[in-house]
Amino acid sequence: MNQLYLYLIKQGANQETAKDIVQEAVCKLLLHLESIDTDRYKSWLFKVAINLYYDYCRKKKNLSTW
């Protein structure tokens, strides 16, 4: 989880956002655990987390234009 957290920080997320995204990504991993190949947990988790971060950035951008 530390690697994922640090990766999100390097992508530009603040500490609280990175923590929230890591938590949400891990929850999604647990929900879909049976359908994910065991060799791909880490890559799946990173992909989900970065997509959650992109979604967060899009929402933040849309809210700031209002």
- Interval 8-58: pLDDT, tens: 999 999 999 999 999 999 999 999 999 999 899 999 999 999 999 999 999
Element holding 7 (H helix, E strand)? helix 2-11
Domains belonging to the chain, first-starting first, are 2-65 (1.10.1740)
pTM: 0.87
Tokens of 47: 């992909």
